[in-house]
Structure formats: structure tokens, C-alpha cells
Copies of this chain bind each other. A is one copy, B any other.
Amino acid sequence: MIIDVHGHLSAPAELYAYKAGLLSHRGAHGRGKPSMTDDQLREALYAPQSSFGNISHMDHLNEAGIDVQLISPRPYQAMHSEQPAFIVDWFTEETNDIIHRVSQIEPRFKGMAGIPQSMDTTPEHWMKEVRRTVEQLGFVGVMLNPDPYEGLKQPPSLADRFWYPVWEALSELDVPALIHSAAARPPARESYSLHFIQEETLAVDALIRSKVFDDFPDLKIIVSHGGGAIPYQRGRYLPGAVRSGVRFEDQLRKLYYDSCLYTSDSIELLLKAVGTDRVLFGSEKPGTGSAKDPETGRWFDDIKLLIDDIEWLSEKQRSALFEDNARTLFTL
């Protein structure tokens, strides 16, 4: 059985037309609602789409053998840095509601909540939507953006006390957070996709050097895309760790990482760096990786095949990666 902790909602155009409207009238039309029928929702899941490589979302899951997928909003659409703040609330709540409808239509999906992370409101305010989705809609986790300014300016580091209300609520609700940034607006030099990586690098660096896990020992944080640059660059930290008397591997192992890397050698490096008990299967399918490798005929984002290629993994380790680690972390 495979549990994929890193999937995103596939929704009809109406959701994004609704968003475009909010960004244009900035609330002057009132909240409204992205109207779509269950049939439209089904079509978004079951119909082939060109951006998915001409198969459907469900086809992707079937082909890759994914039995359960935790889905959150499309990150680059999150619009956390837009104003006024209430349109961020509206869009996030509507998106979470659609995730909920989708998970009722197709029980293979479980909800990971988007959070309305406007910097004009407070983390305490953000947590209201987290509580609603977990307590009322049965969501199993959240997706957390470490850069709600979306590249416009520097946010507080994840080590900063600014984030403590988030850690507190997540600990209390006992749901994991998947660290995943959103858009990257000018003047950022990088695309949103590379911004994900940069922010994951910063997130790992900030969290493992902070006191967050001393203060919130039950907090569960998963870093997307295999932890950004850190596992590959972890050698830079080793001398400093020796000097301060800690094992850097133990530092890294405070966090969890998903396997969402599209080369086998990178996944292997990750597993060696953090241990097989700290990696969760994540494919972001369908998404960035949804093209076929012309040489192998494989989907680039068929992570299972990449893991299968790693010969030294035991069955138990494979089972941990595909299912058990997720079951330990999440209430599924």
C-alpha cells in the first residue's frame, strides 16, 4: 500500500476564475462563491488534462499505485501576499471546502489544509481555519508557507517566536505540517518552483538550529522536496556540529522529509542522510514532474519506481517509506 503525503488539489477553472475575480475587485463584489457542481469536480479528477501529460489525476494515482493521497491547495496559487487580507481568507477557505468536497467524492483523498497566511493578520487568526478544517472537516494535516510575503520581502525566520502560535496549535491538534512555500513575486530572482527549494533550505537550517523542538517536543514537521539543499550540502554543518558536541544527523532527524525528488540518486542520498524512518513517500502527482522520460518511458514523478531502484532497501524499510512512516505521523 502506498500513502502519498504530497499531492495537490485538481480543481475546475471556476476556482481560479473566482480567485482572479477577488484579485480584481479586491472584495468589492463581496465574498461570493466559486460555483461548481460535483460533476465539474469529478471531471477535474477523472478527465485527462494536457498539463498532466494527457491523462487524469486519478490515472496518475492508479498508474503509480498510490492508494491514499493527502491533498492540499496548489501552492503557487495561494496568494498569501495579496491585499486586503480578507480575500486571502476567502480564497483559502473556499479552496479548503473544495478539497473537502473532493475527498467526499473520492475517498482516496484526505485533506491537508491551506492556511490563510496574510501578514496583515496574525498567526493566531490563521489557526482558526486550521481548527475548522481539522475539527469540522476531518483534515489530517496542514501545508505551511514559510514565506507569506512570497518573495516581496524577508519574513521572520521559522526560528523566530513569530511562529510560536502556529507550533502551539499544531501540537494541540496533533497534526503535521508540510513545509511548502507558495508564489515568488518580483523582486525575487527565482521562479516559484525554485523558491520552494530555497525556502526549504532556509526552513531546515532555521528549525534545526532553533529551540522550536525543545519548546514543542510533539511538533511534527515534514519538509517538502527532500529538504531543499541541506542533505546534499550537509557536509558544511559537520565541523560546526563536532565543535558544539552534537551529531548533525540527530539535528536533521528532528524533521521529516518527503521523497519528492525525481532522481534515484538524490532519494538515495536523502535516505542515507536522514534515515529511512524520517522520509515519507511524496510524489506531488500530478504536477511539476508529470512528463514521461523519453528514454525510459517512465513518468518522472513515478517516485515508487525510483525507490524500487534503490537496491539496498529492506522490505521493512520500503514499507516504512511507502506506508508505515505516514501512518505513524498522521491519523489516517
A198 proximal to B (CB < 8 A): yes
A192's partner among B28, B189, B301 (CB-CB below 8 A) is B28
Q: In the complex the two chains form, is A25's CB within 8 Å of B76's CB?
A: yes
Residue of B nearest to A157 (CB): B189
B232 touches A289 (CB 8 A): no
Proximity bits, A63-101, B CB within 8 Å = 1, else 0: 000000000001011110001100000000000000000
Which residue numbers of A lie inside 8 Å of B, CB to CB?
12-17, 19-21, 23-26, 28, 35, 50, 74, 76-79, 83-84, 153-155, 157, 183-194, 197-198, 201-202, 205-206, 225-226, 228-229, 231-236, 238-240, 242-243, 261-263, 265-266, 268-269, 272-273, 288-294, 300-301
Q: Give every chain B residue within 8 A of A77 (Cβ-Cβ).
A: 20-21, 24
Write out the residue numbers on chain B whose beta carbons fall within 8 Å of the beta carbon of A74.
24
- CB neighbours of A14 from chain B (8 A): 13, 17
Q: Which residues of the partner chain B approach A197 to less than 8 Å between Cβ atoms?
A: 201, 229, 233, 236
Are A232 and B226 also in contact (CB < 8 A) when A24-B77, A157-B189 are? yes
Question: Contacts of A205 on B, CB cut-off 8 Å?
Answer: 190-191, 194
Distance between A229 CB and nearest chain B CB, rounded to angstroms? 3
Which of B15, B79, B268, B291 makes the CB contact (< 8 A) with A243? B291
Contact of A239 among B76, B83, B266, B288 (CB under 8 A): B288
Contact of A293 with B242 in the complex, beta carbons under 8 Å? yes
What CA separation (Å) do A193 and B235 show in the bound complex?
Answer: 12
Set B157, B194, B232: member contacting A269, Cβ < 8 A: B232
If A229-B232, A269-B269 are given as contacts, then 14 extra A-B residue pairs at C-beta distance below 8 Å, sorted by A number, are A13-B17, A16-B20, A20-B20, A20-B77, A24-B78, A26-B191, A190-B202, A233-B266, A235-B266, A238-B293, A238-B300, A239-B288, A239-B291, A265-B272
By the criterion CB–CB under 8 Å, are A235 and B206 in contact?
Answer: no
Please give me the residue from chain B that is nearest to A21 by CB atom: B16
Bound-state Cα–Cα, A292 to B239, Å: 7
Specify the chain B residue showing the minimal Cβ separation from A287: B239
Known: A14-B13, A266-B269, A288-B239. A186 touches B234 (CB 8 A): no
What are 26 A-B pairs with beta-carbon distances under 8 A?
Answer: A13-B13, A13-B17, A14-B17, A16-B20, A24-B76, A24-B192, A25-B192, A28-B191, A154-B187, A154-B188, A190-B202, A194-B205, A198-B201, A198-B202, A225-B236, A229-B229, A229-B232, A229-B233, A232-B269, A239-B262, A239-B288, A242-B291, A265-B269, A265-B273, A266-B269, A269-B269
